[in-house]
Amino acid sequence: RNEDIEYIILWIMNTVRFLHVLQQYSGDEKYTVQNTPEQNQQCLKNFDLADYQIILSDLVVYLYNEILNRIKTKLIPMIIPAIIEYEDLEQVGLLTSARIATSVTGKRPKFSAQDLIKQLTDYHKVLQMYFVEPAIIQQLFKQIFYIVNAQALRGLLVRSDCCNWNKALQIRYNLNHLTEWLHNQQLRESGAADCLQPLTQAVQLFLLKKDEKNIDEMINMCKSLTIAQVTKLLSLYKSMDDFDDQVTPLLIKKVGEALKQQRLDSTKDQKRIDYEHQENFDLSFTYPLLYPYVSFDVSFENLEIPNEFQLDFLPLM
């Protein structure tokens, strides 16, 4: 019930550790193989705490979802301004003079890419400070980057003013900051970068030459986007000058037909068909939480219990 996210992070760490200790001393062979002989002698012999392990496992999932919900509440308002709208002044040097004039809107977004990265860094520091299991940290950031992708793409699909060559260059630049951040935080193995593939491919679609000769390249490059998303993005695309490609209705139709032939002609799976016709990714989707058992390396016989606890009657084997 505490509104402070650190409070929930502290308790997910405590709960996971307590669950693993119960498993370690449960007497179950799959957990005791890593124990020392002394630890195996200390295993419970007269109590079966399997039901409590289930309760604690459910509590971990609840706490994880609570952390995720609080992060979503904080991050979702930041994502579209930071990823889609934000234009880094350093990036202007990468644009031709003909395109610079089209990029100046005179209005800066409420949040920058740096603001989003700072918030991610703050979350990562708190998780590490409370020694949350690395597997949980990695899964949490994979989920966060799924949300970043889903929300940013959702914004792009309703903003024709952001569907052009110039904006694509800016968005790619902002995405590069996020992937670099993952690298710097040792989160490359989390799968978080892969969650950005749909948005990355949307950007690549805008930067690609859009004519009938390139239809095969377009459909092969957009493997993480649905058919509906690809055709909608092409329909929103606006050429910015005479050097840019005009996207014709005929081209959009041919791309859509090629994608249907590639993905749906050989399937009768209704879920697959429905998926290819959806424009937005589900923001409420959550990857299953998986965290491996980690044994506790502190021996009971070496514990020093403070006198203030008044537990002198409790023998430590």
The pLDDT of 233-257, averaged and rounded, is: 87
CA dist 33 and 275 (Å) reads 44
Compute the average pLDDT of residues 163-167. 92
Per-residue pLDDT, 316: 60
Can you tell me the distance from the alpha carbon of 222 to that of 204, in angstroms, rounded to the nearest whole number? 9
Give me the mean pLDDT over the 161-173 stretch.
Answer: 93
Mean pLDDT score of the chain, rounded to an integer? Answer: 89
pLDDT in tens, 267-314: 889 999 999 999 999 999 999 999 999 988 887 778 888 889 888 887
When mean pLDDT is compared over 130-134, 244-248, 292-296, the highest value belongs to 130-134
Residue 100 has pLDDT above 60, yes or no: no
Say yes or no to pLDDT of 48 above 80: yes
pLDDT at residue 38 greater than cutoff 90 = no
pLDDT band at 242 (very low <50, low <70, confident <90, very high): low
What's the pLDDT at 2?
Answer: 67
Contact 202, 150 (CB under 8 A): no
Domain boundaries, the chain: 2-92+107-300
pLDDT (tens digit per residue) in 204-220 = 999 998 888 999 999 99
Q: What is the mean pLDDT of residues 186-212?
A: 94
